Amino acid sequence: MGRLREPIVQPAPFSEFIEDFAVWMERERGLSPVTIKSRRWHLERFFRWYATRSRSISAIRISDIDTFVIGFNAKGYSRRYPG
């Protein structure tokens, strides 16, 4: 009837990198779909914030991640070191 208008969904910034990472997590790490979905969500959230900086993905620094975590008081986010 032409009355329902589907919202236009914009892909997340850097979505091609997110997709590559998801494929890697599945194929190389064997992670579960739930884990992959969760990590994708977190990456999308960070990249949406980072895109407002108008910088390339190669310019991301640890300080950007720290700023994101501190600035959003993001519950459940923390830097962790392997070890």
* 3-state per-residue secondary structure call for 43-79: HHHHHHHHHCCCCCHHHCCHHHHHHHHHHCCCCCCCC
Q: From 13, 39, 15, select the one nearest 26 (Cα to Cα).
A: 39
CB 21 within 8 A of CB 43: yes
pLDDT tens for each residue of 52-78: 998 999 999 999 998 888 877 655 666
Q: Whole-model pTM?
A: 0.72
> Over 60: is that where the pLDDT of 8 sits?
yes
Question: Tokens 């190669």 appear where?
Answer: 58
The dihedral built from the CA positions of residue 18, 23, 26 and 32, taken in this order, carries a sign that is positive
The angle subtended at Cα 21 by Cα 32 and Cα 37, nearest 5°, is: 40
